[in-house]
């Protein structure tokens, strides 16, 4: 419970500091490179195989109903709506959330955070604001790449391995998908980016107890962010399916 | 810049701080005057660092009052506190350098954040501060490439770079060789005697303490139990003072019956 309180406290402070100058564009850019650009390979790799295995599974299931022509639709919609943002979020929680927890936690136990405060620099403003927004900006981009590569993975399996008709497959991929589906996935991704950033910063900021404490903060960043992603995904989906009829036509 | 007549810049009154069950400061009183070099000595875990962190509001007291120029720190909001801290420079025990930045960026950090100096002026000031601690030419290095003693000196240079009115030094010479120790002592003397800067130094290096102090205080059991100018301090017939000065293992400081809460533990951090 106390952890939840801290989460909202950190969240509120990040929001409150965001509009205040000076804007540290250089730091933001640096973090965007760190969380975004450097995560591209691992995101592409996992998306590729997610799409591939999805095609493999749905092919064998849909074949039982003679509905192989829907494999493309199923793969595309599952990826865009659900798998790409959730798996992307989990991967980023492991890769970026953990390093944020460890980095800020180390800064805490080596008194670097105290040093910042002493030099009249708010650690929330200086450390957390650029990290959180870098994640909010980059995770949707990564997920978008994941969508494309995942569908390519599905295509490869269906067409090359299972012998599906390439034209039918591609046509089926896009037949039932509209822009709102894509947007839903990206909104989720941005939200997961926010969760990973705030949780990582929070766990790091409240670290105590030397190297052991930093280890604990690192683990907790990943575990808490992953759980938060999976739980919030349910509620986000609920809200967005409720919104869908209002937005689409 | 004193603000009030008696020249007291920093005053701690009845400051009490406990971490859980461990009472670290227990009604501590201390007044530091304008331009004075105050040295507080005390064993490891006696709460010296904790006291110093209260002066700059990194820690808040459970009870008691801390005033700087007559202003109660408890009355300051976040923004005022940020402004207030510009007047301070603090050197941390292990340096606390930002390890993602070069030495020069570390030393110039407060100049970038707190002053309007141009990049060239900052570079000049950074080089000057590094020269003071005999680290000229290391500006492009990363903290991880330096030895512990060098990091501590960079931390010292960073603390004095923006020419603060009040300096707080957390064991500035621990672990430095005698020559460098004398050098750092000289810089502290130059700042307090030459420029009228107020300094609060905590240390357990007695040689250093006698060299730089206008007054020395002994922190024990959460309070300042002895306070005097160096010459008088040496002559105090308080057994605790004598035990500390002469570094004896036996005496009231180490007698479990005398130690409040009977715990001389690790220096407690948050």
The whole-angstrom separation of Cα A199 and Cα A197 is 6
Indicate the pTM of the whole model: 0.83
CB A139 within 8 A of CB A38: no
More reliable by pLDDT, B106 or B4: B106
Asked if B94's CB is within 8 angstroms of A110's CB, the reply is yes
In a domain? residue B139: yes
Q: Pick from B104, B141, B100: which is nearest to A30 by CA?
A: B100
Chain B residues closer than 8 Å to A13 by CB: none
Burial of B258 by CB count in 10 Å (0-12 exposed, 13-18 middle, 19+ buried)? middle
Chain B residues closer than 8 Å to A116 by CB: 98
Q: What is the rounded average pLDDT for all residues in chain B?
A: 85
Among B122, B167, B270, most A C-beta atoms within 10 A, so best to mutate, is B270
pLDDT score, position B175? 78
pLDDT score, position B265? 39
Q: Is the dihedral of CA A75, A80, A81, A86 positive or negative?
A: positive
Among A13, A99, A111, A126, most B C-beta atoms within 10 A, so best to mutate, is A111
Q: CA angle at residue A91 from A93 to A8, to 5 degrees?
A: 20
B113-163 pLDDT tens trace: 888 888 899 999 999 999 888 888 888 999 999 888 888 889 999 999 988
Asked if B110's CB is within 8 angstroms of A119's CB, the reply is yes
Is B79 at the interface with chain A, CB within 8 A? no
DSSP state of B4: S
Determine the distance in angstroms separating the CA of B138 from the nearest CA of chain A, rounded to an integer: 20
Q: Pick from B205, B223, B192: which is nearest to B23 by CA?
A: B223
pLDDT score, position A153? 93
Tell the residue number behind the tokens 């604001």, with chain if given. A129
Rounded to whole angstroms, what are the CA distances from B150 to B154, B173, B177, B258? 6, 11, 11, 38
The whole-angstrom separation of Cα B264 and Cα B221 is 9
Strand partners, A238: none
B246: left (phi over 0), alpha (psi -120 to 50) or beta: alpha
A116-157 pLDDT tens trace: 989 888 888 888 999 999 999 999 999 999 999 999 999 999
User: Between chain A and chain B, how many beta carbons pairs sit less than 8 Å apart?
Assistant: 51
B62-103 pLDDT tens trace: 999 999 988 898 888 877 888 888 889 999 988 899 988 999
Nearest to A114 among B58, B78, B86 (CB): B58
Specify the 3-state DSSP secondary structure of B236. Answer: coil
Domain boundaries, given as residue ranges, for chain A? 2-18+25-237
In a domain? residue B172: no
Peptide bond into A22 cis (omega under 30): yes
The whole-angstrom separation of Cα A152 and Cα A117 is 49
Is B48 at the interface with chain A, CB within 8 A? no
Task: Please count the other Cβ atoms lying within 10 Å of the Cβ belonging to residue A203.
Answer: 31
pLDDT score, position A60? 86
Q: Which two tokens stand for residue B251?
A: 């005496």
Residue A51 has pLDDT above 90, yes or no: yes
Strand partners, B88: B166
In a domain? residue B65: no
pLDDT score, position A120? 84
Strand partners, B37: B199
Is B82 at the interface with chain A, CB within 8 A? yes
Burial of A69 by CB count in 10 Å (0-12 exposed, 13-18 middle, 19+ buried)? middle
A183-198 pLDDT tens trace: 999 999 999 999 999 9
Q: Which domain holds residue B128?
A: 98-164
Asked if B56's CB is within 8 angstroms of A111's CB, the reply is no
Radius of gyration over every alpha carbon of chain A, rounded to an integer in angstroms: 20
The whole-angstrom separation of Cα A226 and Cα A228 is 5
Q: Which residues of A touch B (CB under 8 A)?
A: 107, 109-112, 114-122, 208
Q: CA angle at residue A34 from A113 to A208, to 5 degrees?
A: 30
Chain B: residue nearest A115 by CA? Answer: B96
CB A221 within 8 A of CB A34: no
B55-69 pLDDT tens trace: 998 999 999 999 998
Chain A: residue nearest B56 by CA? Answer: A118
pLDDT score, position A70? 86
Q: Which two tokens stand for residue A20?
A: 């205040």
Nearest to A110 among B96, B109, B113 (CB): B96
Asked if A115's CB is within 8 angstroms of B98's CB, the reply is yes
Question: What's the domain count of chain B?
Answer: 1
A200-217 pLDDT tens trace: 999 999 888 888 889 999
H-helix or E-strand containing A65? none
Among A13, A113, A119, most B C-beta atoms within 10 A, so best to mutate, is A119
pLDDT score, position B256? 61
Asked if B94's CB is within 8 angstroms of A208's CB, the reply is no
pLDDT score, position B262? 39
In a domain? residue B148: yes
Q: What is the rounded average pLDDT for all residues in chain A?
A: 90
The whole-angstrom separation of Cα B120 and Cα B62 is 45
Is B169 at the interface with chain A, CB within 8 A? no
Percent of chain B whose predicted confidence (pLDDT) is above 70: 92
pLDDT score, position A80? 92
- Indicate the range of A16-25, A31-40, A119-128 predicted with least confidence: A16-25
In a domain? residue B145: yes
DSSP state of B250: S
The whole-angstrom separation of Cα A228 and Cα A193 is 11
Residue B270 has pLDDT above 60, yes or no: no
Determine the distance in angstroms separating the CA of B28 from the nearest CA of chain A, rounded to an integer: 22
pLDDT score, position A248? 76
pLDDT score, position B258? 58
The whole-angstrom separation of Cα A128 and Cα A130 is 6
Asked if B56's CB is within 8 angstroms of A115's CB, the reply is no
pLDDT score, position B259? 54
Pairing of strands B166-170, B8-19: unpaired
> Roughly how many angstroms between the first and final C-alpha of chain B, as a whole number?
33
The whole-angstrom separation of Cα B57 and Cα A187 is 41
Q: Which two tokens stand for residue B13?
A: 């009154």
- Band of the pLDDT at A171, cuts 50, 70, 90? confident
Q: Pick from A144, A166, A145: which is nearest to A155 by CA?
A: A166
Chain A residues closer than 8 Å to B109 by CB: 119, 121
Among A118, A126, A206, most B C-beta atoms within 10 A, so best to mutate, is A118
Q: CA angle at residue A139 from A158 to A221, to 5 degrees?
A: 110
B4-36 pLDDT tens trace: 446 889 999 999 999 888 889 999 999 999 989
Among A21, A26, A27, A115, most B C-beta atoms within 10 A, so best to mutate, is A115
Determine the distance in angstroms separating the CA of B251 from the nearest CA of chain A, rounded to an integer: 31
DSSP state of B135: -
Percent of chain A whose predicted confidence (pLDDT) is above 90: 54
> Roughly how many angstroms between the first and final C-alpha of chain A, as a whole number?
42
Q: Pick from A1, A10, A15: which is nearest to A203 by CA?
A: A10
Chain A: residue nearest B270 by CA? Answer: A208
The whole-angstrom separation of Cα B262 and Cα B256 is 6
Pairing of strands B63-68, B71-72: antiparallel
Residue A94 has pLDDT above 80, yes or no: yes
H-helix or E-strand containing B17? strand B8-19
Residue B2 has pLDDT above 50, yes or no: no
Specify the 3-state DSSP secondary structure of A157. Answer: helix
Chain B residues closer than 8 Å to A111 by CB: 92-94, 96
Residue A163 has pLDDT above 90, yes or no: no
pLDDT score, position A175? 84
Nearest to A114 among B96, B113, B158 (CB): B96
């Amino acid at each position: 419970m106390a952890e939840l309180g801290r989460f909202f406290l950190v969240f509120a402070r990040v929001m409150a500091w965001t509009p205040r100058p000076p804007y540290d564009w250089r730091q933001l850019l640096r973090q965007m490179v760190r969380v975004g650009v450097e995560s591209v390979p691992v995101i592409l790799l996992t998306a590729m195989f997610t799409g591939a295995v999805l095609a493999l599974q749905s092919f064998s299931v849909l074949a039982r109903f003679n509905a192989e022509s829907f494999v493309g639709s199923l793969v595309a919609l599952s990826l865009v709506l659900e798998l790409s943002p959730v798996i992307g979020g989990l991967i980023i929680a492991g890769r970026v959330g953990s390093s944020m927890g460890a980095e800020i936690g180390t800064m805490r136990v080596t008194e670097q955070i105290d040093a910042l405060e002493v030099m009249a620099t708010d650690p929330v403003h200086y450390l957390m604001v650029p990290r959180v927004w870098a994640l909010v900006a980059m995770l949707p981009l990564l997920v978008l790449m994941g969508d494309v590569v995942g569908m390519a993975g599905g295509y490869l399996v269906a067409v090359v391995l299972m012998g599906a008709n390439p034209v039918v497959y591609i046509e089926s991929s896009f037949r039932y998908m509209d822009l709102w589906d894509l947007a839903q996935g990206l909104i989720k991704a941005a939200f997961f980016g926010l969760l990973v950033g705030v949780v990582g910063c929070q766990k790091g900021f409240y670290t105590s107890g030397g190297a052991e404490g930093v280890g604990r903060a690192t683990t907790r960043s990943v575990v808490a962010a992953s759980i938060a992603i999976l739980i919030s995904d349910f509620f986000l989906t609920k809200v967005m399916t409720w919104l869908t009829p209002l937005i689409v036509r | 810049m004193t603000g009030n007549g008696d020249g007291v810049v920093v005053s701690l009154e009845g400051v009490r701080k406990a971490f859980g069950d461990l009472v670290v400061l227990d009604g501590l009183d201390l007044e530091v005057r304008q331009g004075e070099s105050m040295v507080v000595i005390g064993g490891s875990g006696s709460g010296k660092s904790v006291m110093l962190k209260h002066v700059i509001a990194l820690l808040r007291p459970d009870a008691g009052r801390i005033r700087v120029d007559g202003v109660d720190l408890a009355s300051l909001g976040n923004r005022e506190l940020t402004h207030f801290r510009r007047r301070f420079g603090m050197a941390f025990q292990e340096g606390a350098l930002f390890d993602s930045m070069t030495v020069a960026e570390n030393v110039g950090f407060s100049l970038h954040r707190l002053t309007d100096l141009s990049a060239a002026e900052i570079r000049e000031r950074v080089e000057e501060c590094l020269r003071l601690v005999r680290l000229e030419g290391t500006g492009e290095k990363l903290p991880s490439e330096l030895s512990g003693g060098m990091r501590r000196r960079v931390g010292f240079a960073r603390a004095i770079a923006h020419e603060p009115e009040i300096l707080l030094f957390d064991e500035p010479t621990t672990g430095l060789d005698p020559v460098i120790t004398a050098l750092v002592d000289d810089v502290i003397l130059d700042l307090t005697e030459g420029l009228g800067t107020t300094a609060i130094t905590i240390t357990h290096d007695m040689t250093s303490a006698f060299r730089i102090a206008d007054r020395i205080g002994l922190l024990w059991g959460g309070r300042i139990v002895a306070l005097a100018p160096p010459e008088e301090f040496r002559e105090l017939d308080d057994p605790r003072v004598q035990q500390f000065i002469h570094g004896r293992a036996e005496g009231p400081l180490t007698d479990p019956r005398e130690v409040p809460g009977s715990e001389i533990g690790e220096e407690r951090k948050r």
